[in-house]
Amino acid sequence: MAEKIINYKFKPGLKLEIEILPIQSLYKKHKNILTVPHRADFYHVLFIRKGKGQHLIDFQPIQLSSNTLLFIKKGKVHFFDKSGKLEGDLILFTEDFFCRNEDDLTFLHSTILFNDLLDNTAIKTSASNTFFSDVIEAMKKELNNQAKEFHHEMLQNLLHNLLMAAHREKRAQGYRELPKGADLDYTLLFNELIDKYFLTRKSVNEYAANIHITEKRLSKATSNILGKSPKELISQRVVLEAKRLLVHTNQPIKEIAFHLGFVETTNFIKYFKSHTGSTPTEFRESHL
């Protein structure tokens, strides 16, 4: 087991921070990397053309099969299963590549494809629906046109079309979309801030001040959208990181407690048990 969870940066040296790779080739060359829990500072889109397998995203198993799409937000801890036999494409891209303006950023952070306020689910498309494979093939072709004008724009537009179509398809399949409005905007921003600062900030007041609203207004927003208080969402993020470190690393519990901002290990143990029903040691042993 690793001492820490590996965090991958985007491949250096590319003209644009987007890449499309064949999944079957990756399995052959880098199976030892793909099947080990890791996180990345870029986004993933998996399009499975053939085969069956499983992908685990933060302890949630996602079943993959032919004509399936899966979207993974940056920062998630995920990995392929070792026995999977998959053929398809893996699209990797950064926020800097996709977001040419504020509207792009808003879409990327709010779309149900990458929205981690709700559970990850795959999108199953029909065999007769060639839209997604056609767009991906067009993207591959455009990746070879680096010298031509509007290269970045063409690639970004194709990716944007793919994401919008997938968003529409996911809604059509009955996936619950959170209601748009100020409450969702505040909740999404709060969630982004938690991801950045949960190790050092545990006070709801600090987050509310960053968003320029009162604690009461923030509480109303998260309660209306998720049925949870801001304090619950902060705790949820702390516990998730604790689970990641307990299962995917061999760090001593004392070190994990300190990393998460607990001066006393006993306080961390009580905190973890109150939120999960088991001690850190019990949780770790249950995932061996």
13-23 confidence digits (pLDDT tens): 888 999 999 99
Q: How high is the mean pLDDT of the chain?
A: 94
The pLDDT score that the predictor gives to residue 32 is 86
Q: What pLDDT shows up at residue 146?
A: 84
**Does position 276 have pLDDT exceeding 70, yes or no?**
yes
Q: Which pair of structure tokens corresponds to residue 135? A: 């767009």
What local confidence, expressed as pLDDT, does residue 27 receive? 86
Domain definitions of the chain by residue range: 6-172, 182-286
Sequence letter at residue 47: F
> Stretch 72-94: mean pLDDT, rounded?
93
Q: In this predicted model, what pLDDT tens digit does every residue of 242-268 receive, in sequence order?
A: 999 999 999 999 999 999 999 999 999
Entry pTM: 0.92
Using the predicted structure, report yes or no on whether residue 55 has a pLDDT greater than 90. yes
Q: What per-residue confidence (pLDDT) applies to 1?
A: 64
Q: What is the mean pLDDT of residues 218-237?
A: 97
User: How much is the pLDDT for 13?
Assistant: 87
Residue ranges of the alpha helices (H) in the chain? Answer: 23-34, 95-98, 102-110, 131-143, 151-172, 182-197, 204-211, 215-226, 230-248, 253-259, 265-276, 280-286
Q: Which residue has the tokens 């940066």?
A: 9
Identify the CA nearest to 84 among candidates 64, 57, 62. 64
Answer yes or no: are the C-beta atoms of 111 and 99 closer than 8 Å.
Answer: no
6-172, CATH topology level: Jelly Rolls (2.60.120)
Structure tokens at 216: 């009461």
pLDDT at 121: 84
| pLDDT for residue 264 | 96
Percent of the chain with pLDDT over 90: 82
Question: What is the pLDDT, as a whole number, of residue 259?
Answer: 96
- Architecture of the domain made up of 182-286: Orthogonal Bundle (1.10)
Residue 7 has pLDDT above 70, yes or no: yes
Q: Is the pLDDT of residue 45 over 90?
A: yes
pLDDT tens for each residue of 98-157: 999 999 999 999 899 998 887 788 999 988 899 999 999 999 999 998 888 899 999 999
pLDDT confidence tier of residue 4, bands split at 50, 70 and 90:
confident
